[in-house]
Structure 1
Amino acid sequence: MSQPAQLPRRFALHRRYDLSGVSGTGIIAYGTQYPTGRTTLAWCCSDVQSVGIYDDIDDVERIHGHGGLTEIRWIDPPQVPEPSLGAYPAGLTVLAGRARCATAAQHSA
């Protein structure tokens, strides 16, 4: 089975000052940004630990950034796309300009 074209990228949400008094300061959540832009955020600092799903990293910053008091700190460096060889690697399907991993049925075809 082939590997995905791009792996998700991890980050931590670091809060310098807590306006609400709920989440505290320091690292308050961890997140993952997927190649599609979709982003998850898992809270790790309060009595209620939840996971949220956002359309993109900008939404996370806009909602939880508190005007710059909270910042996104990337754990993984940005991925550099491999140079194109004129064809896509096996196991990769491109639909509407977005790369998608092949399904099991596509692997056996």
Structure 2
Amino acid sequence: MALTRNFKETMKARADADPAFRAALLSDAVELLLSGDLDTGKAVLRSFINATVGFEELATRSGIPAKSLMRMFGPKGNPTAASLFAVISALQQATGVQLGVNAEAA
């Protein structure tokens, strides 16, 4: 059987080469969090972090230790609203992806 590229490497290569993919990945993560699908939202956000800035740089930018960030976005993680918004803000600044909010009637 042929060896395939590691998933993280594939995500990083795509995120580096495609700004629209980067923006969609962050947007999807936040939309999942807002819709109440916290586990999937955290997983997508973790993939975004790994594909873009990495946990060490995010720790520097957000002021939250890297190990705490890894725990927050792990399967059992439970980030506070303050930490979550600090991370999203740092990710927007680091990657140049700016999110906006649109209100829609249900």
Alignment TM class, shorter chain as reference: under 0.3
Query: Comparing both structures, which one devotes a greater share of its residues to helix?
Result: 2
Q: Which structure has the highest strand share of the two?
A: 1
Q: Which has the higher contact order (CA 8 A, sep 6+)?
A: 1
Structure 1-normalised TM-score? 0.26
**TM-score normalised by the chain length of structure 2:** 0.26
The structure that has the greater radius of gyration is 1
